[in-house]
Amino acid sequence: MVHFDHDDDKPHEECGVFGIYGNHEASLLTALGLHALQHRGQEACGIISFDGKRFPSERHMGMVGEHFGGDLRSRLPGHAAIGHNRYSTQGRPMLRNIQPVFADLAGGGFAVAHNGNLTNARKLRHDLVRDGAIFQSTMDTEVILHLVARSSRANFLGRLVDALAKIEGGYALVGLTGKKLIGARDPVGLRPLVLGRLGDAYVLASETCALDIIGAEFVREIENGEIVVISDKGIESHRFAPARPPSPCVFEYVYFARPDSLVQGRSIYEVRRRMGHQLAMETPCDADVVVPVPDSGVPAALGFSEQSGIPFQMGIIRNHYVGRTFIQPTQVGRQSAISKKHSPNKAVLAGKRVVLVDDSIVRGNTSKKIVQMVRDAGAKEIHFRSASPPIVNPDFYGIDMAAKSELFAAIHTHEEMVRELKVDSLGFLSVPGLYKAIGEPLRNNMAPQFADHCFTGEYPTPLVDYEHDESDKERQLSLLDDA
């Protein structure tokens, strides 16, 4: 089942990936890279290295810093390594479902980790099991491993191309063999993957912030439909899908990517600031202070303040040392954790007309609690603003998104949302405004520049599992049944 925190109703990314080849502190650098990508997954983490003979590995529940430190170089030796942070959209949070996954294939060992979701994984898994495959986990990542193993192509690259030709959905993967580090990105470019260089070593990562933390130089983004192969011979590029304009997930700009990362050469921080500018132009109001919902609402709130001239104030203080609410064993414990996570700054809020700015509204549960907290702190008026358009469709490409029947904007009219949130006004950024803030003058309706299906319902790839079994429409499409 999907483990979604109903109180922390933000969209959650499935994971982050990192790989490095050509540095004898590969595992240490991988741990640092995963630490920079911790925001993409906090449930579990894993690293596999290659020491010239073996593939030492460690996989743990919990955060990177809790497990990967100290004598890591002796525990995971080698000049190459790949790592993964997990936030599950597929399979229960158990040890066997932590990536990277590994298998001894006919040509030698192969480890792989991936970020995303395969929209035909259930059908592929059913066919593989019918033909005798034995699965050890409930992750769609293992489907990739089986497809590679069963290919009849002569070399490893050919077998990987065979496997990728059979899968649908959004993914960025890193793989490790005894001779190569491999990166691949789906034909649409939904999930991100970048290439960096650290001296003579090459690095693959989900975001540029992971390159920055180890002092690596950003080289370029891996293209959609591209495989890169890194070895002692250097780096090679191969296409496994026809060239086409990329259509990356727009939520990288809205929420997922760290503010200090670059996506398509654009500063995430600056894009979110411009979202706030555009939001203020589209949904103006009279107020005394602009207050962000921390931390993700801060850049947009700054932009809203700059455009509107309304002073920016930190009216809500977030406690970064409170654990995630879903791990609390009782409802009482959850409610206690929620109240500790955000605290009102009454000196800023009391008697004021407040513009409350957040990055998005998913289920609306957290938004309701935040509004009530601000109201209890003495705010005279509350005007809620979302720096993204209304989310009215679920995602099937690796975002842990609520079913359509639970999406706040999908099941309520605008007036109903105002009443449910108990706010004086409510405003969302428009889809054209979002494109403008990112740097595109207009949305290309024939071939959208970004995967914006959560707002528009226009999915960029076939939804095979949904078409195969329409009863799955209320959950992540390729969620595999637990064994």
Give the angle 206-212-217 at the CA atoms, nearest 5°. Answer: 90
CB 319 within 8 A of CB 340: yes
- Report the distance separating Cα 30 and Cα 47, nearest Å: 7
Instruction: Reply yes or no on whether 209 is catalytic.
Output: no
How large is the angle between the packed helices 141-150 and 121-130, nearest 10 degrees? 50
In angstroms and rounded to an integer, the radius of gyration of the C-alpha atoms of the chain is 22
- Report the distance separating Cα 310 and Cα 265, nearest Å: 30
- Report the distance separating Cα 17 and Cα 206, nearest Å: 6
CB 346 within 8 A of CB 383: no
- Report the distance separating Cα 109 and Cα 82, nearest Å: 13
Max CA distance (Å), the chain? 73
Q: DSSP string covering 378-395, please?
A: T-SEEEEEESS----S--
What is the helix (H) or strand (E) element at residue 109, kind and residue range? strand 108-118
How large is the angle between the packed helices 298-308 and 268-282, nearest 10 degrees? 50
- Report the distance separating Cα 374 and Cα 122, nearest Å: 44
Which is the catalytic residue, given 15, 45, 209, 249? 15
**Active site (catalytic) residues:** 15
